């Protein structure tokens, strides 16, 4: 690595952010740690344009920590529905409860207390401290990792422990030395903006980058090689059958266990592929089914595997369920999308019933 940390890095980022960065997101121009925390959690793994309407709806329903802590998890997950990575919604809800219990409903300002809240890692904790409290902490989200890997010409792929350790060290060293009011916010926002708009994963716009004069990857004319590609792992494919059981404009849904994939969400009943559907429905629900139809399969990607779903639609002979433990319910089709349901199930329902 040829580049050494220097004062100019933060100076360039701050000035670039003030002139060319983004200033009008709904979570900017506030010091409310709750609003900032919410935006940081929603922005994990999700694009800004997708987040904005969810963020606005969420704040309208739950304008502060107390109102979130009083909400039911069902209602929170319903608001989260379609945003994905539902553990984020569950963790927000749990954290609000912890903040009320342990901090009198006031969002903590100290690193250790923030990091103890579920779903908040080192970079998210730092971002909250920067934007809500003006504290000098280094952020290192995926975008910033990409910038620093290129700037220093650092070897390794994102997520690799050795590279991560190095990048945290560099991120700390590069923090602005002058603790001028507002600079740490502009600096941190500048890194996020640079990663989103200039130093993008593909086709970075190096000619207009404020740090291009010292960028090691650019100097070597090897921008495309940084960061290195993650070693490829073959994604496991899992298969499941999802049952769309209808009875008089109502559909049978099951609530998922609180732990695991789609925890706490309402989902179509699932069964192993290749089993007899009529027998399964009779044995599990006590329902006789008719007009069984096989719909086209859909695929949904998770981080570590792909789920191939075989949807089947059918009519049930009655609404009486043999084993109703409160986790299965007949839901009117007109209100099914108001519940917290996973994205592929939402797609299936939309495709097959909602527009009828
Ligand atoms: S010069 Fe190019 S590769 Fe280097 S930090 Fe700027 S945009 Fe990224």
Q: Is the same domain home to 251 and 107?
A: no
Residue 267 CA, ligand 1 centroid: distance in Å? 44
Query: What is the model's pTM?
Result: 0.81
Write the pLDDT tens digit of every residue in 108-118. 999 999 999 99
What is d(CA 115, CA 44) in angstroms, rounded to the nearest whole number? 16
For residue 226, the ligand 1 atom closest to its alpha carbon is 3
Q: Which of 203, 225, 247 is at the close of a domain? A: 225
Window from 49-63, 74-88, 119-133, 185-199 with minimum mean pLDDT: 74-88
CATH number of the domain to which 275 belongs: 3.90.79.10
Write the pLDDT tens digit of every residue in 306-356. 999 999 999 999 988 887 666 899 999 998 988 889 989 998 998 887 654
Q: Is the same domain home to 48 and 156?
A: yes
Q: Which residues line ligand 1 (CB under 6 A)?
A: 147, 150-151, 198-199, 204, 206, 209, 211-212, 215, 217-218, 223
Question: Cβ of 29: how many Cβ atoms within 10 Å?
Answer: 8
| C-beta of residue 284 within 8 angstroms of C-beta of residue 323 | yes
Write the pLDDT tens digit of every residue in 115-174. 999 999 999 999 999 999 999 999 999 999 999 999 999 999 999 999 999 999 999 999
Q: Is the same domain home to 124 and 23?
A: yes
SS3 87: helix
Q: Is the same domain home to 114 and 184?
A: yes
Q: How many domains does the chain have?
A: 2
Q: Is the same domain home to 219 and 245?
A: no
Q: Is the same domain home to 274 and 166?
A: no
Q: Is the same domain home to 250 and 123?
A: no
By residue range, what is the domain housing residue 257? 236-354
Q: Is the same domain home to 185 and 295?
A: no
**Going by CA atoms, what residue is nearest to atom 2 of ligand 1?**
206
Question: Cβ of 38: how many Cβ atoms within 10 Å?
Answer: 22
Q: Is the same domain home to 87 and 175?
A: yes
Q: Is the same domain home to 263 and 341?
A: yes
Catalytic residues: 40
Q: Is the same domain home to 258 and 153?
A: no
Tokens of 116: 């103890």
Return the best residue to mutate from 223, 226, 227 for the ligand 1 pocket (most ligand atoms within 8 A of CB): 223
């Amino acid at each position: 690595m040829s580049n050494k940390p220097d004062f100019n890095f933060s100076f360039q980022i701050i000035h670039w952010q003030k002139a060319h960065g983004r200033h009008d997101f709904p979570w900017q121009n506030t010091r409310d740690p709750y609003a900032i925390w919410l935006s940081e959690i929603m922005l994990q793994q999700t694009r800004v344009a997708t987040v904005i309407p969810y963020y606005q709806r969420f704040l309208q329903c739950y304008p502060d920590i107390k109102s979130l802590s009083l909400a039911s998890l069902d209602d929170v997950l319903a608001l989260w529905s379609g945003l994905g990575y539902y553990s984020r919604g569950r963790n927000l809800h749990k954290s609000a409860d912890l903040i009320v219990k342990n901090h009198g409903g006031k969002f903590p300002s100290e690193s250790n207390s923030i990091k103890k809240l579920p779903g908040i890692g080192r970079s998210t904790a730092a971002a909250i401290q920067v934007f809500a409290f003006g504290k000098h902490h280094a952020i290192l989200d995926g975008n910033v990792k990409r910038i620093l890997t290129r700037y220093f010409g650092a070897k390794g792929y994102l997520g690799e422990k050795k590279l991560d350790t190095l990048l945290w060290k560099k991120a700390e060293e590069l923090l602005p030395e002058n603790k001028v009011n507002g600079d740490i916010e502009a600096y941190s926002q500048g890194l996020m903006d640079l990663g989103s708009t200039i130093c993008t994963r593909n086709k970075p716009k190096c000619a207009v980058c404020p740090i291009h004069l010292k960028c090691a990857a650019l100097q070597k004319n090897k921008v495309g090689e940084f960061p290195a590609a993650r070693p490829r792992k073959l994604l496991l494919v899992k298969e499941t059958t999802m049952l769309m059981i209808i009875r008089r404009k109502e559909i049978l849904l099951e609530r998922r266990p609180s732990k695991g994939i789609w925890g706490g969400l309402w989902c179509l009943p699932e069964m192993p592929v290749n089993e007899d559907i009529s027998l399964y429905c009779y044995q599990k629900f006590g329902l006789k089914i008719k007009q069984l139809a096989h719909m086209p399969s859909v695929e949904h990607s998770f981080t570590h595997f792909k789920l191939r779903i075989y949807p089947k639609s059918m009519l049930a002979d009655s609404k009486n369920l043999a084993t109703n433990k409160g986790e299965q319910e007949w839901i009117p089709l007109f209100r099914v999308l108001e519940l917290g349901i996973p994205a592929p199930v939402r797609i299936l329902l939309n495709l097959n019933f909602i527009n009828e």
